[in-house]
Structure 1
Amino acid sequence: MTKSEKRILLLASVFLAIALNVHRLFVMLPGEARRIGLPWVFNAPELAYQTLFQFGYCIFIGFLNLKWLRWENTNKKEITKNLLFNLLFLVLFLAIGSISQKYLFQNAPNLKLFILGYMFRLITSLVLLSIMLKIVLLNRVQKRKELENEQLKSAYFDAEIKNLKAQINPHFLFNALSSLSALVRENPNKAQDYITHLSKVFRYSLGNHHEQLIGLDKELELLDSNIQLLKMRFEDALDIHIHVPKTHGINLPHMSLQPLLENAVKHNYVSKEYPLRIDVFQENDKLIFKNTLKEAIYKEPSTGIGLLNLNERYQILMGKSIDIVKSDTHFTVQLPLNP
């Protein structure tokens, strides 16, 4: 039983115990009892005893059905057994109440009438408690379904993220090895430095593979490592400006900027005569990645993984989509930030 269920049972028991005994306040005086023809006279100790007895019965039936008996996903045999338990304790409390009434107060000239009174109060309590218990049990089932749905949703999202991240690493590795191959032919010494920086990038990526959302400051560090790799190959043909004044407490999906940098280089003509300018800056609650557009005549074929992968991860982790704006001169990607 949860704390809220115990609280509901306690309040319901108090209400039923008072509601089914409050009428006796009007017949406590002997004159009033004789006037309406009652064969007995109630007094304050008896009223208190019967109210507490009623309260104890309600509490016991509540715990019996909510804690000890199992009503969810039971067959007919189990349900019949639960009903018999409730009936058994109804008879038991009826016997205890009637006998204790007789020997404690000795004011029951007509014991059968007392038994009928107890029977009415206990059966009424059982019926009203059954309604309350049904509501509580339905609420349990609903919460269990919601929890299962959340667990399934979390498991699905986790599997999706792992699958999407698995797509990133081969995609990045393919591009990195292509660049390394070209650099080995052009400048073997720089190729060695390239391998050193490449190992740092992979160490960073693998060291944070379990993180789905990561701080913008860490993501910018990864971007800088990738820039160093590209600078070795393109040198002054790359003109990159990063203006993000405040990154503390701002998160975004891990490895969001790397595919944008890769795409900018892969799909554009990059040379000293036509340098590729890239601007990264924050605008309100978005991170803007903007590069000049001069599409290469013989560009590498696009697999479509980069931006599609990035957009899917944003939808899963942040419930938002990235915005892409393409003009004749610039290609801009707007990434929502999660503070």
Structure 2
Amino acid sequence: MKISKAEKRVLVLTSVFVALALNAHKLLVLLPGEGQKIGLPWIFNAQELAYQTLFHFAFCYFLGLLNLQWLDWTNRSGTKARTKNVLYNLAFFFGFLFLAMITQKLIFQNAPNPRFYRLGYFFRFATSLTLIAILVKIMLLNRMQKMKELENEQLKTAYFDAEIKNLRAQINPHFLFNALSSLSALVRENPQKAQDYITHLSKVFRYSLGNHQEQLIGLDKELELLESNIQLLKMRFEDALIIHIDIPIGSQKKLPHMSLQPLLENAVKHNFVSKESPLQINVLLDEGTLIFRNTLKEATYKEPSTGIGLLNLNERYHILMGTSIEIEKTDNHFTVKLPLNPTHHVH
């Protein structure tokens, strides 16, 4: 697995810290006469200290890189793979240890008894191996946690997408059923208007199908769809339907696609509509909330409610925006309040 920039930065800083911490005591040896006091059998200088510290850093860094980038320590790796990883680490350890001893002798040639610095290298490398192993374990656990979170998020997104598709699939058949019922009545009353109705109906379906990938849509576009639906209803009800929309153009708000259409359908479907008692609908904004309010005069013989419209809309709000719609009913009015999202919201 490729090591991330953040992991590489942590590895570099840790390697620097370990290399300095395990070689800092040698600074005392550089003081005049200190080497003789502790019985150091060779002349130790600043160049040798810098070399050993840099070599130690390289050991820590490449050991971490070996385990974080080139070896597979995930749960899916089996016992054989883990055994192979351990052997690689041992080979790396002893290979670096041998290289350190050889280069130390070739470059400096100042120790009559190499046993002393060999033991020093072995002790420092063994300690570093333990510390880097702890760091690698922590970073691997952090990777696993991030992978689980990513998988959970992907599963959650896939679930939400499936839910949205299922809910939106309910809208079109519901709308089509209502539209065909209206068209059937209009064909009998006015064939010419029925042709215009079909033209507007095709625009509505073209709009809804053309935006099938969008879950949240701009309020302006949603109002365009509402206007197309209004034209369909006005062909049938004419002056019996009075609609006022008081929303400024260019609003930077979003809401679930096709949220207003079912509200318009329900208002017409469940109320008595006539020129003597026109259905009045007001659509307005109030502090980031869209208010859809219609007069209430329930039809004596109204169509049975399937409950799909408002239930569907509320479920989509739950999934896409983490909130619910508000419904208020009085003796004279039926009001639905829809929370709106700013355009920077991303689901």
Q: TM tier, shorter chain?
A: over 0.9
How far residue 102 of structure 1 moved from its aligned partner, in angstroms, is 1.8
- CA-to-aligned-CA distance 1:175-229 (integer Å, 9 cap, x gap): 0000111111122221111111111111111111111111111111111111111
Pair 1:247–1:321, CA change in 2 (3 A): farther
- CA displacement, residues 56-83 of structure 1 (integer Å, 9 cap, x when unaligned): 1111101110111100022222111111
The one-letter amino acid paired with 1:329 is N
Note if 1:65 corresponds to 2:67: yes
Instruction: Provide the C-alpha distance between the structure 2 equivalents of 1:164 and 1:29, rounded to a whole number of angstroms.
Output: 79
Match of 1:84 in 2: 87
Looking at structure 2, the residues matched to 209 and 36 of structure 1 have their Cα atoms a distance apart, in angstroms, of 80
Shift of 1:320: 1.2
Report deviation, 1:30.
Answer: 4.7
Give 1:9-48 correspondences, 5 Å limit. Answer: 9-48=11-50
Structure-to-structure mapping, 1:156-235, within 5 angstroms: 156-235=159-238
Classify the secondary structure of the residue corresponding to 2:186.
helix
How much does 1:128 deviate? 0.3
The aligned residue for residue 53 of structure 1 is: 55
Could you say what the CA RMSD is over the residues aligned between the two structures, in angstroms? 1.1
Distance in 1 between the 2:206 and 2:97 partners? 74
Specify the SS of the correspondent of 1:194.
Answer: helix
Could you tell me how far apart the structure 2 residues matched to 1:48 and 1:97 are? 13
Q: Bigger CA drift: 161-170 or 26-35?
A: 26-35
Q: Are 2:300 and 1:297 equivalent residues in the alignment?
A: yes
Where in structure 1 are there 5+ consecutive unaligned residues? none
State the distance in 2 between where 1:195 and 1:245 align: 29
* TM-score, with structure 2 as normaliser: 0.96
Match of 1:152 in 2: 155
Q: In structure 1, what is the Cα distance between the partners aligned to 2:184 and 2:93? A: 86
How many angstroms apart in 2 are the aligned matches of 1:65 and 1:72? 11
Q: Which amino acid aligns with 1:37?
A: G
After TM superposition, give the deviation of residue 38 of structure 1 in Å.
2.3
Distance 1:160 1:320 in 2: 16
Instruction: Provide the C-alpha distance between the structure 2 equivalents of 1:76 and 1:30, rounded to a whole number of angstroms.
Output: 54
Q: Report the Cα offset of residue 29 of structure 1.
A: 3.3
Residues 304-323 of structure 1: matches in 2 within 5 Å?
304-323=307-326
Instruction: Kindly state the Cα deviation for residue 149 of structure 1 after the two structures are TM-superposed.
Output: 1.2
Q: Which residue in the other structure is 1:103 paired with?
A: 106
Match of 2:143 among 140, 144, 164: 140
Give the Å deviation of 1:48.
0.6
Deviation for aligned residue 1:248: 3.0
Q: Deviations over 1:219-262 (max 9, x none)?
A: 11111111111111111111111000244321111100000000
2:8 to 6, 9, 12: 6
Q: Where does the alignment leave 5 or more consecutive residues of structure 2 unmatched?
A: 343-347
Q: Does 1:129 align with 2:127?
A: no
Match of 1:325 in 2: 328
Contact map agreement 1:180 1:194 (CA 8 A) in 2: yes
Write the deviation string for residues 105-138 of structure 1: whole angstroms up to 9, x where unpaired. 1122221121110000001111000111011101
Distance 1:179 1:38 in 2: 103
- The answer (yes or no) to whether the contact 1:215–1:249 under 8 Å persists in 2 is yes
Alignment partner, residue 335 of structure 1: 338
State the identity %. Answer: 73
Whether 2:260 is the aligned partner of 1:257: answer yes
Q: Is the 8 A contact 1:28 1:41 kept in 2?
A: no
Matched, 1:120 2:126: no
Q: Deviations over 1:14-34 (max 9, x none)?
A: 111111111100011351111
Matches of 1:189 and 1:114 in 2, distance apart? 103
**Which digits, 9 at most, give the CA deviation of each residue in 1:238-289, with x for residues without a partner?**
1111000244321111100000000000001111111111000000010000
Secondary structure at the counterpart of residue 40 of structure 1: coil
SS at match of 2:309: helix
Partner residue of 2:281 out of 278, 281, 298: 278
CA contact (8 A) 1:213 1:254 kept: yes
On the 8 A contact 1:29/1:41 being kept in 2, the answer is no
